[in-house]
Amino acid sequence: MTSRRQFVTQTAAAATLLAFPMVGRSQPAPVKVGVIHPVTGALAYSGQQCRAGALLAIEEINKAGGIKSLGGALIEPILADAQSQPAVGAAEIEKLNEAGVCSVVGAFASAICLATTQAAAKYNLPHVVDVGVADLIVQRGLTNTFRFGPGYTSVAELAVTNLAELNKSAGNPAKTVMIIHEESLFGSGTANLLQKSLPQVGFEVVDVIKHANPTRDFNNIVLRMKSLNPDIVIPANYYNEYALLVRTMQQQKVKPKAIYSVLGGAASSYKFIKEFPDASSGIIDCNHWYNPKNPRSQDLKKRAQAMGLFFSYELFMTYTAMTLLADSIDRAKSVDREAILQALMSSTFSSHIMPYGPTQFINGQNIGGRPLMTQVLNNDIKVILPIEYREAQPLFPLKS
Amino acid sequence: MFDFSILFASVLNGLTSGAVYALVALGLTLIYGVLHIINFAHGAALMVAMYGVYELYSKLGIDPYVALPFLVLGMFLLGYALQRVIINHASHGKDENILLVTLGLAIVLENLALLFFKSDTRTIDTAYSLTTIAIGPAFIALPKLIAFAGALVVSAILMLLVSGTDLGRAIRAISKEKQGAKLMGIHVEHIYAMSFGIGLACLGAAACFLLPTYYVNPQVGSGFVLIAFTIVVLGGMGSFSGALIGGLLIGVVESLGGLYLGESLGQIGIFIIFIVVLLFRPQGLFGARA
Amino acid sequence: MKSLLGIAALAIGVGLLPLFVESGVWINFVMMTLYAALLAQAWNILGGFGGQFSFGHALFFGFGAYTQAIAQLQWGFNPWVALTMAGFVSGAVGLGVGALTFRYGLKGSYFALVTLAFAEVFRILAVSVPFTGAGVGMMIPLKESVSNLQFESRVGFMYVILGLLVAAMLVTWWLQNSKFGAYLQAVRDNEYAAQAIGVNPFRVKLGAIALSGAFMGWAGAFYLQVFQYIDPSIAFGPHTSVEALVAAIVGGLGTLWGPLLGALALHLLSDLTRNLFGSLPGINMVIYGSMLIVIVMFLPRGIAGIGLSVTRLWRGKRG
């Protein structure tokens, strides 16, 4: 099919935009890596942010001399669009496989990741999952699937522990909690977990509200909030709905003791605080975050912002996934898929910008992965927990 | 379960949301009533209008309400052109083809927006975006009240247009009896295009009322399509007063449904009404029996 | 007779394909095209032959997919048994919806919109009840074996979908050559006239929607087996409804080969455009949408319509 040749040439052309200019000497064959994301359709924004993260990583690695153990071979990204549909993602994996990629990074959304990892497994193609927080992804016994970041179970558990800690150190001002979540896999899964574990640390869940994607209006939910008056509001949803919810709360003058989100769509988003400085003030999030003490993360942030991009979790998660992969290819000393799989399985990758514990993959999940708690303070996002990464004192509760 | 102040606020809120839905539905019902086509591109057109409002505000600092006449005119011209140049020619008059053409248009518009504006969500922050007015025990956002009043005004203007002007008479003639209208010398193609244009012009107004409290991204239109169809059916296909009252009603149903059943399950109320109306009173509240 | 030979040729042709083609890309492409063709063929039974356009065919798709999932996960049925059940459940849903809507005489746009509403109602219900996994969706565990209806390579799935499509095409052939089919098309063309000559439109349309629903349900069950995960928006969302009707219309309404031709054309188009201009996402879909409009503009009777016009021209010249 000519489309394959076209698509390889197009993406190769894209790759040469980033490849470090060669200086005369003979260059070893480039290492082809598939980069698959939903860059069109409903998830386009996140998909494009992820892709940007991958390309930033590749640019950096190539500039630093490529894959050292392969004689300085440069990484060549083969880009693919999952069009926000699992079936398309799976079809693109077939193309990536035939284009000769040695491994794949992608595909942001859990539903799409389920399809792409499974399609890749047929060819023993290593697939690093960049975001996709559903636990299902690493529970199918697929040996080709690796997720560096935490899944929503571990994020939710830590969120609950941290909330209890925050509450205790402020003298336990908060007792009641209201959970507001989006209706699909991520929101429902997270809410289910929170609903079960919060009572175990002494909180009363007064209501769990599910909403659609998209939701045009949050006034009813905020009205319920007014009537139930929970101490803490816990949103677990995507950017648009999160922003609407918080703005509506501001409009209706509803001020809980804390807005504490778990994997909140806009809670730790530079875009959100720039556009809504008042509504976002004081919001706490338990979410993917970079290591604030690592100068390389500040560096990456600057590079992203110089390109006019917001430094969002999609960007640094995929960036990190790509650096993990590059490290594994280097340790494998080859582009053989099995070798790379083995390298990933035994990886102890530590030169990354995430605040994780020691890297160890068990059944494809890096058990060192964990979220951080951040809070929007003085129009900036600061890490408040765990203590070793704290950048500012948490403000809890927001009002006494 | 809920005390009066909550219910009151919920109903008021439903009315204000419903007014904007009504505006969207007004355009759809006109297009259906006259051209007998189900415009799949309606949501995408709303999105185009909203980007128009956004650009005027962010690039030229023009307030959405001030921009209203420009948006209305701009969307009218767009609608006229689309119908005259593309939809009319492509469909060869067959219903199923018109469907495909409007679907194709929707895809093209959505992805052109993706190309030009990228995929991130845009919002505007006007001085009054967060102002609320107290009505009894409820706080209603000012932009929503303005939207409510605006929708009433626009519907009134539309109804006057259709009943009082020559254009309106021509529109009504064509929707009732196309061949007869042609024989009377009415230029059918032109009137079709005018109707489509007016239909899209309503979206221009709706966009101006929506953006102060909502947001825009390439997919934003699709969230309004189903609900607009429901209102058109409830009100009666081709009836303006039906679209207005239907819109307000649906807004309240959505709001109360959301309050009692939760925002996710609550949406079901809208579609149950849709089905019940279609089964037992397909002409809707105000439509003429086919 | 010629059509039957054609269907047999298709079955044999695709059946032998894996002997000559090893490329995963191609096998996957063929599999997804046949799948889209099944969606379109199912829709065509009600839409093309019955003249009742449904905008919510995903309703049947979703029922098929969830039946497949629930039967395996919660009732422990073998996937092949579940597959059979899926078709019957969706067919029954078709009967239910048909009984309600045709009894009240819904036609044309009203019928189209009510099917849309039904699909949306069940999507919302599926999100809300734990029985369907609510928003989390349902996933069948990976266990590749023929008896488990899961295959290591796409070839196995390709044969399954080929079988389902051939069945649908045989039913379509039967519609073109049977009394029932004649009644159905008579009702489509002029319901009152058909009634006048003694056809029972209600029963005929009911039969069509049941058949149409059943095949759509099988497509849904197939989807689950291939991708192993389903959630309310994949199952009942507008995407599948639109895919079915677009392919059927582009291919040619009320024809035997229309759905397959439409599915093939659209898949080729989408595949070719998908990775053009990789650095500017969106252009590919602009081209896709524009091509859709262009196809309709120049082929108002669909792709199969070209064949019809050509044969008519040919016969006309000789005649």
Task: Report the interhelical angle of C108-128 vs C238-251 (nearest 10°).
Answer: 150
pLDDT tens, B83-126? 999 888 877 767 778 888 998 999 999 999 998 988 888 988 88
Residue C310 has pLDDT above 70, yes or no: no
* A38: nearest Cα among A92, A100, A102, A104: A92
Tell me the average pLDDT of chain C.
90
Q: Do C227 and A86 touch (CB under 8 A)?
A: yes
* Residue A372: predicted pLDDT: 94
Integer CA distances (angstroms), A270 to A130, A276, A280, in order? 20, 10, 10
C288 in Cβ contact with C83 (< 8 Å) = no
Structural domain for A204, as ranges = 153-287+372-389
What is the residue whose two structure tokens read 């896709």?
C288
Task: Choose the closest CB to B139 out of A210, A224, A253.
Answer: A253
* Residue C318: predicted pLDDT: 47
pLDDT tens, C246-297? 999 899 989 999 999 999 999 998 888 887 776 677 888 888 889 888 888 8
Task: Choose the closest CB to B121 out of A219, A240, A247.
Answer: A240
Residue C197 has pLDDT above 70, yes or no: yes
Q: Name the 3-class secondary structure at A350.
A: coil
Q: Do B119 and A44 touch (CB under 8 A)?
A: yes
pLDDT tens, A40-65? 888 889 999 999 999 999 999 999 99
User: Looking at per-residue confidence, does A394 or B130 come out higher?
Assistant: A394
Ramachandran bin of A276, using left for φ above 0, alpha for ψ from -120 to 50, beta for the remaining angles: beta
Distance from CA of B197 to the nearest CA of A (A): 26
Task: Choose the closest CB to B267 out of C124, C291, C300.
Answer: C124
Lowest mean pLDDT among B7-16, B121-130, C145-154: B121-130
Residues A376 and A319 in one domain: no
Best residue in A50, A83, A216, A221 to probe B by mutation, most B CBs within 10 Å? A216
* Residue A400: predicted pLDDT: 45
A residues 109-148 closer than 8 Å to C (CB) = 111, 114-115, 118, 122-123, 136, 140-142
Strand order in the sheet with A176-182: A204-211, A176-182, A232-236, A258-262, A284-287, A372-377, A380-385
Q: How many CB atoms lie within 10 A of CB B19?
A: 26
Distance from CA of A292 to the nearest CA of C (A): 31
Over residues A83-99, mean pLDDT: 94
| Residues of A whose CB is below 8 A from C232 | 183-184
Q: Residue A208: in which H helix or E strand, if any?
A: strand A204-211
Alpha-helix runs per DSSP H in A31-184: 44-63, 86-98, 110-121, 152-169
Q: Residue A337: in which H helix or E strand, if any?
A: helix A337-345
Distance in angstroms (rounded) separating the CA atoms of residues C167 and C299:
28
Counting one residue from chain B and one from chain C, the pairs whose CB atoms sit within 8 A come to 122
Q: Do A87 and C24 touch (CB under 8 A)?
A: no
Please give the tally of structural domains in chain A. Answer: 2
pLDDT tens, C51-73? 999 999 999 999 999 999 999 99
Lowest mean pLDDT among C23-27, C78-82, C220-224: C23-27
Strands C138-139 and A380-385: unpaired
* Residue A89: predicted pLDDT: 95
pLDDT tens, B158-182? 889 888 888 888 888 887 777 787 7
| Residues of A whose CB is below 8 A from B119 | 44-45, 47-48
Over residues C180-208, mean pLDDT: 92
The answer to whether B128 contacts chain A (CB < 8 Å) is: no
In this prediction the ipTM stands at 0.88
Distance from CA of A7 to the nearest CA of C (A): 5
Task: Choose the closest CB to A81 out of C26, C142, C275.
Answer: C275
Task: Choose the closest CB to C275 out of A3, A122, A187.
Answer: A3
Nearest residue in chain B measured CA to CA from A251: B130
Integer CA distances (angstroms), A186 to A172, A322, A354, B196, in order? 29, 23, 22, 41
Task: Kindly report the backbone phi and psi dihedral angles of residue A173, in degrees, each rounded to the nearest multiple of 5, phi listed first.
Answer: -75, -20
pLDDT confidence band for C97 (50 / 70 / 90): very high
* Residue A121: predicted pLDDT: 94
* A111: nearest Cα among A154, A54, A21, A47: A47
Q: Do B226 and C289 touch (CB under 8 A)?
A: no
In a domain, A22, yes or no: yes
pLDDT confidence band for A6 (50 / 70 / 90): very low
* Residue C300: predicted pLDDT: 79
C187 in Cβ contact with C205 (< 8 Å) = yes
Burial class (CB in 10 A: 0-12, 13-18, 19+), A350: exposed
C222 in Cβ contact with C36 (< 8 Å) = no
Contact residues, chain B to chain C, C-beta under 8 Å: 32, 36, 38, 86, 89-92, 94-97, 99-101, 103-108, 110-112, 114-115, 226, 229-230, 233, 237, 264-265, 267-268, 271-272, 274-275, 278-280, 282
pLDDT confidence band for A1 (50 / 70 / 90): very low
Residues A162 and A273 in one domain: yes
Distance from CA of A122 to the nearest CA of C (A): 7
* Residue A17: predicted pLDDT: 46
Residues A221 and A261 in one domain: yes
Residues A358 and A383 in one domain: no
In a domain, A177, yes or no: yes
Residue A337 has pLDDT above 50, yes or no: yes
* Residue A3: predicted pLDDT: 44
Nearest residue in chain A measured CA to CA from B134: A252
Instruction: Check whether the bond before A150 is cis (ω within 30° of 0).
Output: no
* Residue C83: predicted pLDDT: 96
Q: Do B233 and C297 touch (CB under 8 A)?
A: no
For residue B185 the two structure tokens come to 């010398």
* Residue A313: predicted pLDDT: 94
Write the CB contacts of C99 (distance below 8 Å, at least 6 apart in sequence).
Answer: C206
The sign of the CA dihedral C270, C275, C277, C281 is positive
Task: Choose the closest CB to B111 out of C116, C125, C285.
Answer: C285
* Residue B21: predicted pLDDT: 94
For residue C229 the two structure tokens come to 């995960």
* Residue A9: predicted pLDDT: 47
A236 in Cβ contact with A187 (< 8 Å) = yes
Q: Do B17 and A239 touch (CB under 8 A)?
A: no
Write the CB contacts of A355 (distance below 8 Å, at least 6 apart in sequence).
Answer: A289, A290, A291, A292, A370, A372, A389
Residues A123 and A46 in one domain: yes
Q: Do C135 and A87 touch (CB under 8 A)?
A: no
Longest dimension (CA), chain B: 62
pLDDT confidence band for A373 (50 / 70 / 90): very high
Q: Do B224 and A216 touch (CB under 8 A)?
A: yes
pLDDT tens, A196-253? 999 999 999 999 999 988 888 898 899 889 889 999 999 998 888 998 999 899 888 8
- Percent of residues, chain A, with pLDDT higher than 70: 93
In a domain, A396, yes or no: no
C154 in Cβ contact with A115 (< 8 Å) = no
B79 in Cβ contact with B72 (< 8 Å) = no
Q: Do A211 and B6 touch (CB under 8 A)?
A: no
Write the CB contacts of B88 (distance below 8 Å, at least 6 apart in sequence).
Answer: B189, B192, B193
Distance in angstroms (rounded) separating the CA atoms of residues A59 and B279:
60
Nearest residue in chain C measured CA to CA from A118: C227
Distance from CA of A73 to the nearest CA of B (A): 33
Task: Tell me the CATH architecture of domain C2-314.
Answer: Orthogonal Bundle (1.10)
Distance in angstroms (rounded) separating the CA atoms of residues C28 and A361:
31
Q: Do B215 and A244 touch (CB under 8 A)?
A: yes
Nearest residue in chain B measured CA to CA from C128: B265
Residue B49 has pLDDT above 60, yes or no: yes
Q: How many CB atoms lie within 10 A of CB A205?
A: 17
Distance in angstroms (rounded) separating the CA atoms of residues A110 and C227:
13
Distance in angstroms (rounded) separating the CA atoms of residues C50 and A53:
51
- Domain residue ranges in chain C: 2-314
Residues A52 and A130 in one domain: yes
Q: What is the pTM of this model?
A: 0.91
The answer to whether A362 contacts chain C (CB < 8 Å) is: no
* Residue B4: predicted pLDDT: 86
Distance in angstroms (rounded) separating the CA atoms of residues C101 and C206:
10
Q: Do C135 and A83 touch (CB under 8 A)?
A: no
Q: Name the 3-class secondary structure at A270.
A: helix
The answer to whether A308 contacts chain B (CB < 8 Å) is: no
The answer to whether B126 contacts chain A (CB < 8 Å) is: no
* Residue A290: predicted pLDDT: 95
Nearest residue in chain B measured CA to CA from C123: B268
Q: Do B114 and A44 touch (CB under 8 A)?
A: yes
Which CATH number is A264's domain given? 3.40.50.2300
Q: Do C231 and A184 touch (CB under 8 A)?
A: yes
A104 in Cβ contact with A344 (< 8 Å) = no
Give the up-direction half-sphere exposure of residue C260: CA atoms within 13 A in the CB hemisphere. Answer: 19
Write the CB contacts of C78 (distance below 8 Å, at least 6 apart in sequence).
Answer: C72, C147, C148
Distance in angstroms (rounded) separating the CA atoms of residues A354 and A287:
12
Distance from CA of B142 to the nearest CA of C (A): 32
SS3 for C155-204, per residue? Answer: HHHHHHHHHHHHHHHHHHHHHHHCHHHHHHHHHHHCHHHHHHCCCCHHHH
Residues A200 and A280 in one domain: yes
Residues A211 and A86 in one domain: no
Q: Do A240 and B111 touch (CB under 8 A)?
A: no
Residue A2 has pLDDT above 60, yes or no: no
Q: Residue A261: in which H helix or E strand, if any?
A: strand A258-262
Residues A129 and A194 in one domain: no
Residue A277 has pLDDT above 50, yes or no: yes
* Residue B135: predicted pLDDT: 87
Over residues C36-57, mean pLDDT: 95
Distance in angstroms (rounded) separating the CA atoms of residues A104 and B108:
30
Distance in angstroms (rounded) separating the CA atoms of residues A139 and A116:
15
Q: Do C292 and B274 touch (CB under 8 A)?
A: no
**Chains in contact with A, where contact requires at least 3 CB pairs less than 8 Å apart:** B, C
In a domain, A398, yes or no: no
The answer to whether A270 contacts chain B (CB < 8 Å) is: no
Strands A204-211 and A176-182: parallel
**Chains in contact with C, where contact requires at least 3 CB pairs less than 8 Å apart:** A, B
Tell me the average pLDDT of chain B.
88
Residues A214 and A174 in one domain: yes
Q: Do C227 and A90 touch (CB under 8 A)?
A: yes
The β-bridge partners of A266 are none
